[in-house]
Amino acid sequence: MKKRYLLIVALATIGFFSCSKQGFLDQTQSTDLNEQVVFADSVYTLNFLSSIYSDIGFSTWPRRFGGGGLDASTDEAEGAGLGSANTFIQFATGTVNSNMITRDAWSTSYTNIRRVNILLKNLNQTKFGNDIKSRVKAESRFLRAYYYFILLEHYAGVPLMGDSVYRATDIIPFERNSYEECVDYIVSECDAAAEDLPWVHEGENYGRINKAACFGLKSRVLLYAASPLYNGESVASDGALQGIVGYPNADPQRWKRAEDAAAQVLASGQYSLHINNTTEPGFGFYQVFQLRKNTEYILARMQAANRDLEGIFHPPTFGLGSPGAYPYLETVNAFGMKNGLPITDPTSGYDPLQPYKDRDPRLANTVTRDQSLVFHRDGLARRPVNIFIDKTNPNNAISGQDAIYKGTPTGYYTYKMVHRNVAADWFSTETPRCMPIIRYAEILLNFAEARNERLGTPDIEVYAAVESIRERAGLSPYKLPLNLSQEEMRRIIQNERQKELAFEGHRFFDVRRWKIAELVENSQLHGTEPIRNAAGTTYNTINVRKRVFSNRMYLWPIPQSEVAKSTDLLQNPGY
């Protein structure tokens, strides 16, 4: 195997030293003495571990790529900041290329993998007791597995570095491991880490990696691995890439592994959906995202009280500072009626003249639409007021800049996880919100999907998992029709994932692993144009973007700057 030198990543970014972060494996700027100092001091060591924690969630951040992130890179939403080099624009227009694509998934992940390896190499010399050493080792191994998963979901098989800490003088392997090897490595690291971690943390350790996070990540990895894109339906025609971008042969038993992994979390009894229907139907779906601690968050990016999402998602006159993604009409239409029926069902009661009446309660907590109530600072007072997105009164003092074609290209703003009583200004209160990465609702849907695919016909356990999601959402009735076929249940599960997990970074990878991106991302996407008149408001459907998708876009290209370092690092198909 040919090998070439790689640059080595910085030792850490913990505030104690100044480090360079120039490439995949940049040379360490800190001296060996600095490394010795860090791991001779327990506080420094924990800060080093915290620096590895600090990047979790970067992949799904709504401001990734400068505006819109993964939400705007798929059929979920239109993005903000229409620069030609913007990654979401590349995905929207089918112009993705290895020279211009953002390299954060590659560089951030490998930087943190190396940090973990440095920590593990030095762990024995730390001043911790054995119990703390065991916990730190387990957390670190999980974090390494997590960053490998970020690489896997973007690029498929990647080089596995093991426990090695390479330096500039070392010869480092560039050859990509097979998809199977990467999956097995991540799963084994999750299992090993889980052995030394509790199901839940309390007190000052709340938010640290626990056993449920290990099994939750394992569930997601194996669900992806069992899905069509990776399970024998490779996008590679080059034989050298066949085993790298997925399993060469299909095996339906891979669904059983995914099912069992999700069942490990469900059987623990330690987690549950956050349910609160006392205020309004489905209020728990809104409330769970505002609670720092709840029964549903398995892994979250912990942060201080903040107004982050209010500043990203609120309409312009409500304090928006850096726009995120604007939902497409297709995303809105995925939310059915409160009675659980899709709006396309003639018996659902859907009225196109009153399109938001009696809809799935999750819609109002996911999307801001014309005449939604949004918290607004009016002078020194703060109150919820209606926003007006119609184009008939663009100079309205309250709503002019919020209108269609002015504030939003689709007629909608994102509202997911936004706090109802927080305005995006320095005078408002903040929410204790943390950003979810893995939550119990996802595990339920992972279990239902894997079991439905394995059995061929949904059984009572599949029904129970899906119906619990619908019940918490406030649907009435929430029960599904009996005797659904596998295909009918598959469509329901896919729809529930689209609604329940909207704007949490799942949609981009879901439509790819299901191999439906060539349909949903190769079509005209729409918005709505509210027009107010004496008789009321009409809602015209407008064209927003004709998205373009080619099969090579099922995977990300590896950044060309990395591929250029060695002929052993094979590029993904089509790039």
What stretches of 474-536 show up as alpha helix (H) in DSSP? 486-500, 507-513, 517-520
Predicted local distance difference test score (pLDDT) of residue 36: 83
Predicted local distance difference test score (pLDDT) of residue 320: 61
For 15, how many CA atoms within 13 A lie in the half-sphere containing its CB? 10
Predicted local distance difference test score (pLDDT) of residue 315: 86
Per-residue pLDDT tens over the stretch 431-453:
899 999 999 999 999 999 999 99
Please list the ranges in the chain whose pLDDT falls under 50.
Answer: 1-33, 380-382, 394-395, 397-398
Query: For 423-480, what is the HEC assignment?
Result: CCCCCCCCECCCEEEEEHHHHHHHHHHHHHHHHCCCCHHHHHHHHHHHHHHCCCCCCC
Predicted local distance difference test score (pLDDT) of residue 319: 62
Q: Which two tokens stand for residue 540?
A: 């015209």
* Predicted structure pTM score: 0.91
Query: For 353-384, what is the HEC assignment?
Result: CCCCCCECHHHHCCEECCCCEEEEEECCEEEE
Instruction: Please name the helix (run of DSSP H) or strand (run of DSSP E) that holds residue 313, with its range, or none.
Output: helix 308-313
First to last CA, the chain: 23
Predicted local distance difference test score (pLDDT) of residue 27: 33
Separation between Cα atoms, residue 149 and residue 155, nearest integer Å: 10
Per-residue pLDDT tens over the stretch 342-394:
999 999 999 999 999 999 999 999 999 988 877 665 554 445 556 676 665 54
Q: Is 543 exposed, middle or buried (0-12, 13-18, 19+ CB in 10 A)?
A: exposed
Q: Where are the domains of the chain?
A: 1-197+550-575
Predicted local distance difference test score (pLDDT) of residue 166: 84
CATH topology of domain 1-197+550-575: 1.25.40
